[in-house]
Amino acid sequence: MSKQKDFFDKFSEFLKDIDLLKSFIPPVHKAGYPFIILFIAGTIIFSIFSDFLGWMGIILTIWCVYFFRDPERVTPKKDNILVSPADGRILSISTELAPENLTEDKEKKMKKISIFMNVFNVHVNRMPVSGKVIWLKYIPGAFFNASLDKSSKKNERMISKIEIKKDVYVYVVQIAGLVARRIKCELEENQSVNIGDRFGIIRFGSRVDLYIPENFKINSLENQISVAGETILAEFDNKNVKK
């Protein structure tokens, strides 16, 4: 009993230190609270059986809080830009057909920027551009490693079609990964959105693909590390945007 009392005393001290840690740890996304509570409950249960398991639970709880962090971002005050929708490494920049070919032109090609989020990246997604949500489409699928090209076509995903101006669209595709099993998109059809706004989260390692018109100027490179809401991925000129 004395060992358990010592452990709980130390755990109580840890909880008291949370207020101090708040000045160093960014806010937590609301989607993370159920997991954090679950990790804390598991830590208490594990500690009954072993101090070692209890401390492992504390470490995992800290990691869970870290994973669901939701830091503030400063979006550039510049017109006609697209910023990164996700933190992570830019896997590839290519030209492909619009996702799912859900356009009037079945052969419409667009530039695609793919960003991979590992388990240590911030997983809160942000709007790459201001506009209007035209439609949302959820597509069930597999759970291949999100760093693989086939994950764009095979994995579970959520597609958001955003209209920048009349008949000019970008597609934001949230893709589940090998570990990620839950895509959360907080958008609604016909909703107006602003660049840099939070719009969802993908849990535990995943990918976001961004499809943009071919005549947009790419300002990013493959293997570059991007920051959601801050890194400028591309620019466009409203006057010369092709419809």
Which of these three, 37, 67, 97, is where a domain ends? 67
Q: Is residue 72 part of a domain?
A: no
Radius of gyration of the chain (CA): 21
Q: How many domains does the chain have?
A: 2
Residues 112-137: what's their mean pLDDT? 92
Residue 74 counted as domain residue: no
- Per-residue pLDDT, averaged over 159-184, amounts to 86
Same domain assignment for residues 117 and 196: yes
Task: Kindly state whether residues 162 and 197 are assigned to the same domain.
Answer: yes
pLDDT-derived band of residue 20, with 50, 70 and 90 as boundaries? low
Q: Which of 47, 114, 206, 226 is catalytic?
A: 206
Give the Å distances, CA to CA, from 150 to 37, 146, 153, 227. Answer: 35, 8, 6, 24
Does residue 138 lie within any of the structural domains?
yes
pLDDT of 243 reads 44
Q: Bridge-partner residues for 192, per DSSP?
A: 132
What letter represents residue 128's amino acid?
A: P
Residue 232 burial (CB < 10 Å; 0-12/13-18/19+)?
A: middle
In a domain, 102, yes or no: yes
CA 160 to chain centre: 14
* Domain edge (last residue) among 35, 67, 99: 67
Is pLDDT of 50 > 80? yes
Is residue 73 included in any domain, yes or no? no
pLDDT, tens digit (0-9, with 9 covering 90-100), for 214-242: 999 999 999 999 999 999 999 987 665 54
Cβ pair 187, 162 in contact under 8 A = no
**Is 206 one of the annotated active-site residues of the chain?**
yes
pLDDT digits (tens, 9 = 90+) for 104-124: 566 788 999 999 988 888 889
User: Are residues 57 and 104 part of one domain?
Assistant: no
Better-predicted residue by pLDDT, 78 or 132: 132
HSE-up (13 A, CA, CB side) for residue 115? 30
Domain identity same for 58 and 101: no
106 within domain boundaries = yes
CA dihedral angle for residue 76, residue 78, residue 83, residue 88, rounded to 10 degrees: -30
Instruction: Assess whether 18 and 131 both reside in one domain.
Output: no
User: Could you tell me if 225 and 173 lie in one domain?
Assistant: yes
Same domain, 130 and 200: yes
Kindly report the average pLDDT of the chain as a whole number. 83
Over residues 200-221, mean pLDDT: 89
**Domain coverage including residue 53:** 2-67
Crossing angle for the helix pair 2-16 and 51-67, to the nearest 10 degrees: 20
**Is residue 75 situated within a structural domain?**
no
Identify whether residues 97 and 50 lie together within a single domain.
Answer: no
What integer is the mean pLDDT of 63-68? 79
Q: Which amino acid is at 219?
A: N
Are residues 63 and 89 both part of a single domain? Answer: no
User: Are 173 and 228 contained in the same domain?
Assistant: yes
Boundary residue ending a domain (67, 100, 119): 67
Beta strand extents in 86-227 (DSSP E only): 88-97, 109-117, 124-126, 131-139, 157-165, 168-176, 183-185, 192-193, 198-202, 206-213, 217-218, 225-226
123 and 228, same domain (yes or no)? yes
Residues 50 and 136 in one domain: no
